[in-house]
Chain A
Amino acid sequence: MRSINRINKRLNKEFGGAVHAAEERGCVVLNGRVSTWEEVVRAGVLAVDKKHNRGVINRVTATGQTVPPMRIPELKDETLEGRRPDVLVIGAGVTGCAIARELARYDLDILLVDKEHDVALHASSRNDGMVHPGIDLRKGSAKHHYNMRGNALYDEMCSELGVEFQRPGQYLCFTKAWMVPLLYLTLLYWKWLGIPGVEVVRAKELFRREPNLAKDIKVALYFPNAGIVCPYGLTIALAENAVENGVQLSLNTVVLGMKLQEDGIQSAQTNRGTVYPKVVVNAAGVFADAVARMADDQFYSIHPRRGTNSILDKKYTSVVLNTIAAKFGASPKSAHTKGGGIVRTVGGNLLIGPDAVETCERENFATRRESIQGTFAKHSQTSPALNEGEIITYFTGVRAPTYEEDFVVCKGVHCKNLVHAAGIQSPGLTAAPAIGADVARMAAELAFGREPTLKMDFKPTRVPIVCAAHLSAEARAALIAQNPDYGEILCRCEEVSRGEVLDALRRPVPCTTVDGVKRRVRPGMGRCQGGFCGPLVAQVIAGELDIPLDQVQKSGAGSNIVLGPTKGGEAG
């Protein structure tokens, strides 16, 4: 109670009575009306008191700021009506897919749903692909726990799934020579945090390794366990492996409401029928709080935070950086991100970013010029060789933090058949394998009501789509001899063959769009951004799906690439 009084005092001081806090079931619930979204977020931040409360539920609204409703697929059918899975996993991002794959190890019937037309369409395809060493995480936080465990699981998981994973390591650079002795002292701290192999790298050695860093850098800390992975490639691989092990994936499927009974979920209404799961897993990303609310188990609120990354032409990578680097204290600073940096991706490009901006729009992925200018201004302090002219594309993602700024990975508090994997923001990609294992274990315990039984025939390995350009000439020739489609290059920038495009369309997780093919085998990821290969890929899709060309979609429903035949043209 004293805690609530203190919070209300703070809120009154800031908002003069416009926002009121009350305690409900161990949570702080905020109500009121303020003028801007920034103030809504500010109220939420002020109400955090982790010692005395479970979390902040922020119901404050902003005048003149309409929060857009969740986008819902147009599709309506009854394909899932009456389905009674043991576990329903809501959300097919990297967290949901990791959970589903881990659940597939148990003898359970699993249904994984996502409202989008493909997996990994929100934060999981809109981040920097870094597997974090865990530099700025507080020991004792869920983030720290899952980051350290997740990071350590990456090598084995990626090797099983046939996903490219590298550990180039990360440099945190400093400009003050007097910091050198201090940095040596921090080595004990990193050890205590559980980060292996950290070293202090003096200028001479640093510039030998990374010659294009800014000349005012005097010393750096090197974190060898920092890794890079293609985040959507990993999510797709997890989903495919889950499906190969019996998980049912239902895309274009949104949970619209839940029917509750005796402290638990009786059924979940979707646009494709009512589902009666034994257990529900909430991995719904920016909508995790909405799902928790449906289950009457909300004890956190998501406040979306936008971030934008740029990708540079890979031919400039070597003149900038070969690993991952950021400069300590580079401005403009933004709270609650890993600070962003320069990351060499597994695709060989450089990625710059991200920034962090609070927003009420959970699904607005539009980019803004200021974001690009801001991140370049910041990170060219790390490597002055960065040049905006070398950008080939940029993208925006929306993070899903709670006001406590920590992951929520636990069984439901008031709802007995729910497990939360919520508040997942950076380092969520790193944490995914560890969260996946823990949440799957919790859900399995609930589903079995006893010690869960493992399946004997779980197959952890996945055969990836061959990347012909990475093969030796001899192996490539052998592949083409087997199937000449691998010898016909459709995407000149990324050297992707017709065979690989066809493979992308024939996987365990269906893919029918130009962007879906791009996320799987990379045509259009290069410097011409699909200018040449776009129509070729669209034709392959039309042929494979046996549909007219004007039915081929770039992305979601309504994103038709072309709009019908010309006056003299033929349909298809």
Chain B
Amino acid sequence: MIGEMKTYDVAVIGGGPAGLAAAIAASREGASVLLCEREARLGGILKQCIHDGFGVIRFGEKLSGPEYAHRYIEQLKETDVQVKRLCFVTRVTKEENSFVLELVSREGVERVRAGSLVLATGCRERTARQVAIHGTRPAGLLTAGNAQYYTNILGQMPARRCMILGSGDIGLIMARRLTLEGARVLGVYEAKPTPSGLSRNIAQCLHDFDIPLHLRHTVTRVFGSERLEAVEVAQVDERMQPIEGTKQLVECDALILSVGLIPENELAESLGVPLAADTKGPVCDQSYMTMVEGVYSCGNAMHVNDLVDYVSESGEAAGRAAARYTYAPRTFAGVQAGAGFLYAVPQKLDLAHPTQETVLYFRSKEDRGKTLVRVLADGREIFKKRYNQLRPPEMERLALELSNEDLVEGSVLRLEMEDA
């Protein structure tokens, strides 16, 4: 039943792009690594992303999701990482200098010990109820990722005549995908004045297929007792409230939601890992260690990324650091994002364990034109960069060299932006 407890240097939870990169990196550092994946196959959500555009930064070519995952799975095969599939981590407890994981699989219940932990648990989609959609609850009301699973993994049509609420990337991708499969996509409705998805997806998925994008519009109610029959759409005002008199009934058999992603951090929370209000992911240092010693976070669990290339990058960094982890105390400087930023990660710099370069990711709060972003160390400008435009859907990355900046405990690295 519950056998002798195996011990690993690093346990990686999640076998998507972040977890794959973390496991490979940790193993290359010489650590013994366990990779737990709850599904039957590695690759995470990439498995169902059969469109291209993955890997432009990492590999300099446009791959499909499964191809991108395949490259890492091939690399993983060359390591001695212990991979467990269909393996669910039910509980993690922190002991003095290690973690004990309880794993449930078809083989039974197993407890393993790990020196450090990498949480690569990805994110989940916001549901209809979380964006306050009211009315009945028929079949045909589903998230874009769910629709993508049915279409691309199971080869089944989730809709014949549908509309999409939210202009997130998965929604845009599904608008094109379902059109190619012969479904009629009536339009994409977005409550905000600007689209939430990448510009390239607006062009390639909507414009190229003549799918209308209705900004400042939302779905107020749905109808149909068994299958969805119609939705009520309305224009919204500045406070996102529906405007009376603009309500309109649209007949369709499905409403597909692409209204945001939420990092999955229930395991992190069970370990007492503090989360940031803006990213909904753990507060981390530049090696992606959370505020709980020995617990690392990466990929979309840490913050929702726009490109998988960055997911792999943070996974790799977290895996490498987790392999080197020594339980030596950390000394923190803070990272602050000023006005105009949606968020910046990491939120902390560990001065006791400096990295060669420090990577900062940020997003702006609003669509902007020419912008100057400056980085100040304790008030001193140490870096600046001009952008032709900044958009919330598009994440930006800065790599800084901080070794000569004389940062001390309590120092503050501050990001500021201004029109340029």
Instruction: Tell me if A562 is interfacial: C-beta within 8 Å of chain B.
Output: yes
Residues of A whose CB lies within 8 Å of any CB of B are 71, 315, 365-369, 372, 391-395, 468-469, 473-474, 476-478, 480-481, 484-485, 487-489, 492, 495, 527-529, 531-532, 534-535, 539, 549-550, 553-570
Query: Could you tell me if A557 and B226 are in contact, using CB atoms closer than 8 angstroms?
Result: yes
Instruction: Tell me if B58 is interfacial: C-beta within 8 Å of chain A.
Output: no
Query: Could you tell me if B109 and A535 are in contact, using CB atoms closer than 8 angstroms?
Result: no
Instruction: Tell me if B125 is interfacial: C-beta within 8 Å of chain A.
Output: yes
- For B149, the chain A residues whose CB sits under 8 A away are 535
In the assembled complex, how far is the CB of residue B49 from the closest CB belonging to chain A, in whole angstroms?
Answer: 15
Residue among A365, A473, A568 making CB contact with B102, cutoff 8 Å:
A473
Contacts A550-B156, A557-B226 given; does A487 touch B104 at CB 8 Å: yes
Query: Could you tell me if B226 and A556 are in contact, using CB atoms closer than 8 angstroms?
Result: yes
- For B102, the chain A residues whose CB sits under 8 A away are 473
Query: Could you tell me if B154 and A480 are in contact, using CB atoms closer than 8 angstroms?
Result: no
Q: 19 pairs across A/B with beta carbons < 8 Å?
A: A366-B221, A369-B132, A391-B130, A476-B104, A477-B1, A481-B108, A487-B104, A488-B86, A488-B105, A554-B138, A554-B139, A554-B226, A555-B139, A562-B158, A563-B157, A564-B157, A565-B155, A567-B181, A569-B156
Residue among B104, B106, B142, B182 making CB contact with A567, cutoff 8 Å:
B182
Of A71, A555, A563, most buried by chain B (CB within 10 Å of CB) is A563
Query: Could you tell me if A556 and B104 are in contact, using CB atoms closer than 8 angstroms?
Result: no
Q: Name the interface residues of B222-266: CB closer than 8 Å to any CB of A.
A: 223, 225-227, 253, 266
Residue among B106, B124, B146 making CB contact with A480, cutoff 8 Å:
B106
Instruction: Tell me if B319 is interfacial: C-beta within 8 Å of chain A.
Output: no
| Overall SS of chain B's interface | mixed
Q: Name the interface residues of B145-185: CB closer than 8 Å to any CB of A.
A: 145-146, 149-151, 153-160, 181-182
Query: Could you tell me if A531 and B269 are in contact, using CB atoms closer than 8 angstroms?
Result: no
Query: Could you tell me if A391 and B269 are in contact, using CB atoms closer than 8 angstroms?
Result: no
What 0/1 readout, one digit per residue, does chain B (88-130) give for beta carbons within 8 Å of chain A?
Answer: 1010000000000010111111010000000000001101111
Alpha-carbon separation in the docked complex, A489 to B160 (Å): 31
Range of interface residues on chain B?
Answer: 35 or more
In the assembled complex, how far is the CB of residue B407 from the closest CB belonging to chain A, in whole angstroms?
Answer: 36
Query: Could you tell me if B134 and A480 are in contact, using CB atoms closer than 8 angstroms?
Result: no
Contacts A480-B106, A558-B226 given; does A372 touch B143 at CB 8 Å: no
Query: Could you tell me if B106 and A487 are in contact, using CB atoms closer than 8 angstroms?
Result: yes
Query: Could you tell me if B225 and A556 are in contact, using CB atoms closer than 8 angstroms?
Result: yes
Query: Could you tell me if A480 and B159 are in contact, using CB atoms closer than 8 angstroms?
Result: no
Query: Could you tell me if B2 and A474 are in contact, using CB atoms closer than 8 angstroms?
Result: yes
CB-nearest residue of chain A to B153: A535
Alpha-carbon separation in the docked complex, A566 to B160 (Å): 10
Query: Could you tell me if A473 and B146 are in contact, using CB atoms closer than 8 angstroms?
Result: no
In the assembled complex, how far is the CB of residue B315 from the closest CB belonging to chain A, in whole angstroms?
Answer: 20
Query: Could you tell me if B104 and A489 are in contact, using CB atoms closer than 8 angstroms?
Result: yes
Query: Could you tell me if B104 and A569 are in contact, using CB atoms closer than 8 angstroms?
Result: no
Instruction: Tell me if B389 is interfacial: C-beta within 8 Å of chain A.
Output: no
Q: Name the interface residues of B1-60: CB closer than 8 Å to any CB of A.
A: 1-2, 38
- For A562, the chain B residues whose CB sits under 8 A away are 150, 154, 156-158
Query: Could you tell me if A480 and B129 are in contact, using CB atoms closer than 8 angstroms?
Result: no
Instruction: Tell me if B136 is interfacial: C-beta within 8 Å of chain A.
Output: yes
In the assembled complex, how far is the CB of residue A68 from the closest CB belonging to chain B, in whole angstroms?
Answer: 11
In the assembled complex, how far is the CB of residue A195 from the closest CB belonging to chain B, in whole angstroms?
Answer: 36
Query: Could you tell me if A367 and B104 are in contact, using CB atoms closer than 8 angstroms?
Result: no
Query: Could you tell me if A528 and B158 are in contact, using CB atoms closer than 8 angstroms?
Result: no
In the assembled complex, how far is the CB of residue A397 from the closest CB belonging to chain B, in whole angstroms?
Answer: 13
In the assembled complex, how far is the CB of residue A83 from the closest CB belonging to chain B, in whole angstroms?
Answer: 29
Query: Could you tell me if A473 and B130 are in contact, using CB atoms closer than 8 angstroms?
Result: no
Query: Could you tell me if B160 and A563 are in contact, using CB atoms closer than 8 angstroms?
Result: yes
In the assembled complex, how far is the CB of residue A552 from the closest CB belonging to chain B, in whole angstroms?
Answer: 10
- For B354, the chain A residues whose CB sits under 8 A away are none
In the assembled complex, how far is the CB of residue B386 from the closest CB belonging to chain A, in whole angstroms?
Answer: 37
In the assembled complex, how far is the CB of residue B295 from the closest CB belonging to chain A, in whole angstroms?
Answer: 18
Alpha-carbon separation in the docked complex, A469 to B160 (Å): 38
Query: Could you tell me if B154 and A366 are in contact, using CB atoms closer than 8 angstroms?
Result: no
